[in-house]
Chain A
């Protein structure tokens, strides 16, 4: 696979590597493979790696090197990566997250069902069917952007974001889905609620599994007990 990429100055001590401007699984896989390789190689000059959809930000130590030296060190690593057809990621994990799809816990669930001209069960079926890919984390600590949502389930964000989206809300927006890791403002369509979820890393895969309201309440009680 050939893929265009380029360097971009990002900050006094940071360089961006930009791949083609698309939200695309193959492009995103390259970004995370590059991040993984660099973290494994741990060159002296590397301070931090921040992958996102189609971009990788690298912070480097200006006491060790300048931008030209970083580019020289990176180019062979990227060229080699581009030659491989590797699509999997070595350290990626698969997670199953239990979600309660109940209109009382998810303010937009019934509207989303109406949009589908279907039932709440149809929403659940479509949302639990795919294996999602973690494209990137950002916005807030632990907020993972998962994709791709089934085309039939794609809805825009709310024109005016909600002031308070409850912690654990499972939401969709266009081709993405996410769990709000803490109560915060947010504009996505809320379709479910999770009691607990693992720490997700970019490149991981996720399936959602529907659970009953009773199971959800029990999991919430369990989670609370852990804090006692």
Chain B
């Protein structure tokens, strides 16, 4: 174990994340983990890491760090401008850093979050089996208390592959691009039967946009028209990640990684795996459409992803 990275500028929000904290929702502990799972899993795959190796989730760029030890690294996710010692480098490509090198992540409107991974993965003491930082729960991160990364924090890494893999880049089998006009697949779920057919048709018939009311807990959406005849609130029930809740105002809220474990708003559906990763990157104001997808199709996709990235949950 070696100290590999010092944070010199964390930006708006930089957090340590592994794949998530599973198995504790019955105690009210949410999953956490990477908002854009696709970018996260690609970063670990490109470095030959375990799918669960911890990375830094960088929000809206403006992040700087200094390497303290030679390591392979990659930045995936949003296509933010990157530089190593002032020289422009590409995202989604593996590079070799030397001790003393400085990495800088800029910002543009291509997305919201990028993932910095190093060979072997960052090291921290797990809490309930995970290092995932959940600020709201006060769990995980470098000091186990759910704190975001701060200037001066030094991260160590596990021993990883020493081989240079600079030519490695994503193959096409699990695409990485964020389309300019995304279509998000939605599986009928929850209280779908209690929504009118007019509401179900409007949900996929009209354009939605992401609002600025969004964080790691959830994303509020705005449709041209509110969904009609929203069913009444219910006795709170367990709430899975990706659920599309519809409060009385008829404007959907998608629950993301740091969601509360119980919720009482009716749910019309749940996002597919790919749709959740895309939504994690959509800036406020970006327009998109929903499309209904059958559960069997969504499961086929998830099986393919789990196998491709060797996810063993």
Contact = CB atoms under 8 A, between A and B. Distances in A.
Interface of A: 8-14, 16, 18, 21-23, 35, 47-57, 59, 61-63, 66-67, 136-143, 182, 199, 201-202
B30 to A, nearest CB: 8
Given A12-B272, A12-B295, 18 more contacts: A9-B188, A9-B190, A10-B240, A11-B187, A12-B298, A12-B299, A16-B190, A18-B237, A21-B234, A52-B262, A55-B238, A57-B237, A62-B303, A66-B299, A136-B262, A139-B260, A140-B260, A141-B137
Contacts of A50: 25-26, 238, 261
B27 A9 contact: no
Contacts of B187: 9, 11-12
A55 B237 contact: yes
Interface in B173-219: 187-191
5 contacts: A11-B189, A12-B301, A48-B22, A54-B237, A142-B27
Nearest to B234: A21
A10 B270 contact: yes
Contact of A11 (B235, B243, B261): B243
Given A54-B235, A63-B306, A141-B28, A11 B270 contact: yes
A67 B307 CA distance: 19
Interface string B134-155: 0011110000000000000000
A74 to B, nearest CB: 16
Contacts of A199: 27
Contact of A142 (B28, B236, B240, B313): B28
A35 B27 CA distance: 13
Interface residues of B, number: 42
A141 B27 contact: yes
Nearest to A55: B237
A51 to B, nearest CB: 6
A63 B312 CA distance: 10
Contacts of A23: 235
A11 B242 CA distance: 8
B25 A48 contact: yes
A10 B189 contact: yes
A154 to B, nearest CB: 16
A137 B25 CA distance: 8
B302 interface: yes
List the 10 closest pairs (A to B, CB-CB), nearest first.
A138-B262, A57-B238, A11-B240, A55-B237, A50-B238, A137-B28, A50-B25, A9-B189, A138-B261, A138-B28
Nearest to A184: B136
A10 B295 contact: no
Contacts of B136: 140
B40 interface: no
B42 interface: no
Interface string B273-313: 10000000000000000000001101101110011000001
A50 B235 CA distance: 15
B270 A137 contact: no
Contact of A48 (B23, B301, B306): B23
B27 A137 contact: yes
B243 to A, nearest CB: 7
Contacts of B191: 8
B29 interface: yes
A136 B234 CA distance: 15
Nearest to A136: B262
Contact of B190 (A10, A13, A61): A10
B242 A138 contact: no
B216 to A, nearest CB: 15
Given A62-B302, A67-B295, A138-B261, A16 B237 contact: yes
